[in-house]
């Protein structure tokens, strides 16, 4: 089984490095300056043991890969890049290739199933960072993350069990779960705060905005009749497993990092925007998530620095 990690950023890059170090055949797919840096110097992995360079194969896209039986795609791009990635994959990878969505949000698996027969979801609990080309960081140690996996839309099979075993061999916690989408909706509730984390200053009102966005998302999922893992079940899964590898706070989560790198895009439509979509489908208001989505997209579009908007200014546009 060879792992094709499409999206070698924070989550994908760290996972690809650990898989490679465990002896698992791996090919990374990267782009831009990150691709150039990996090709020239290798991928630098920083974790609780220090820094090391991993000489892992890397490609600019699926067309550069000689596809073979046993290949598995680990799709680790942001949700806004899923469609483009699937188009590239469908042009050269066999339709029977398993596609594993290592992504936040809950719509990636459904989109992948249009093009590929065997699709799996992963509930990613893996704090990681990627701010410099060629460098990724695991922010937890000694276990870098939890990667529970299940077949989409439900169930498990021998492929899911084999992939979970490969994740465990690479140092991660991983369990096959037949109800993986319930776990991913639970993760979505944690992720609706990403857009707030990305744009708002850490000042009075910040925590309340994030809490209101989550409460609103819970109400929407309940009204839509969608099952999700409650916070206490998520917390119990993490327990004492995910331990910080570095002193001091991280700069921010994945959306914050997108703004910090100046990528020009952000994942807000797939996170807060998912709650907005469900709310509209069920005739419900979702002002906090709509405001979060709009502000995050504006910051990405205008190239604004992360965490630079006063919470009071954010609240002033609520519902407007």
Picking from 152, 178, 204, the residue at the C-terminal end of a domain is 178
Residue 177 is predicted with a pLDDT of 98
Residue 320 is predicted with a pLDDT of 64
Q: Supply the DSSP string of 202-260, one letter for each residue.
A: SSTTHHHHHHHHHHHHHHHHHHHT-----HHHHHHHHTTT--BSSSS--S--HHHHHHH
Q: Are 138 and 285 part of one and the same domain?
A: no
Residue 239 is predicted with a pLDDT of 84
Q: Give pLDDT tens digits for 39-74.
A: 999 999 999 999 999 999 999 999 999 999 999 999
Q: Are 217 and 68 part of one and the same domain?
A: no
Is the separation of the CB atoms in 243 and 184 below 8 Å?
no
Q: Are 146 and 228 part of one and the same domain?
A: no
Residue 255 is predicted with a pLDDT of 96
Q: Are 119 and 43 part of one and the same domain?
A: yes
Q: Give pLDDT tens digits for 241-290.
A: 999 999 876 778 999 999 999 999 999 999 999 999 999 999 999 999 99
Considering its fold, how many domains does the chain have in total? Answer: 2
Q: Are 67 and 157 part of one and the same domain?
A: yes
**Ramachandran quadrant class, 16 (left: phi over 0; alpha: psi -120 to 50; beta: rest):** alpha
Q: Are 129 and 231 part of one and the same domain?
A: no
In a domain, 184, yes or no: no
Residue 249 is predicted with a pLDDT of 61
User: Residue 286 maps to which CATH number?
Assistant: 1.10.1040.10
Q: Are 174 and 223 part of one and the same domain?
A: no
Q: Which domain holds residue 291?
A: 189-316
Q: Are 157 and 221 part of one and the same domain?
A: no
Residue ranges, the chain, pLDDT below 50: none
Residue 60 is predicted with a pLDDT of 98
Cis previous bond, 192, omega within 30: no
């Amino acid at each position: 089984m060879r792992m094709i990690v499409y999206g070698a950023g924070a989550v994908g890059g760290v996972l690809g490095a650990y898989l490679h170090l465990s002896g698992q055949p791996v090919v990374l797919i990267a782009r831009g300056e990150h691709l150039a840096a990996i090709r020239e110097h290798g991928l630098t992995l920083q974790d609780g043991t220090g820094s090391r360079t991993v000489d892992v194969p890397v490609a600019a896209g699926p067309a550069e890969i000689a596809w073979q039986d046993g290949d598995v795609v680990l799709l680790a791009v942001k949700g806004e890049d899923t469609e483009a990635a699937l188009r590239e994959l469908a042009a050269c990878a066999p339709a029977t290739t398993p596609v594993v969505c290592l992504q936040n949000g809950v719509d990636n698996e459904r989109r992948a199933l249009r093009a590929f027969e065997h699709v799996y979801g992963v509930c990613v609990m893996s704090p990681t960072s990627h701010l410099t080309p060629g460098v990724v960081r695991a922010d937890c140690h000694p276990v870098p993350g939890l990667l529970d996996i299940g077949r989409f839309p439900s169930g498990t099979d021998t492929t899911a069990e084999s992939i979970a075993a490969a994740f465990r061999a690479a140092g991660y916690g991983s369990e096959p779960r037949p109800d993986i989408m319930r776990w991913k909706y639970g993760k979505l509730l944690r992720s609706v705060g990403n857009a707030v984390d990305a744009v708002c200053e850490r000042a009075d009102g910040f925590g309340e905005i994030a809490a209101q966005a989550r409460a609103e998302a819970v109400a929407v999922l309940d009204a839509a009749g969608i099952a999700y893992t409650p916070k206490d079940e998520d917390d119990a899964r993490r327990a004492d497993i995910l331990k910080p590898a570095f002193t001091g706070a991280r700069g921010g989560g994945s959306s914050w990092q997108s703004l910090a790198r100046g990528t020009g895009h952000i994942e807000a439509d797939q996170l807060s925007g998912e709650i907005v979509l469900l709310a509209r489908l069920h005739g419900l208001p979702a002002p906090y998530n709509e405001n979060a989505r709009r502000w995050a997209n504006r910051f990405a579009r205008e190239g604004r620095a992360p965490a630079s908007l006063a919470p009071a200014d954010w609240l002033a546009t609520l519902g407007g």
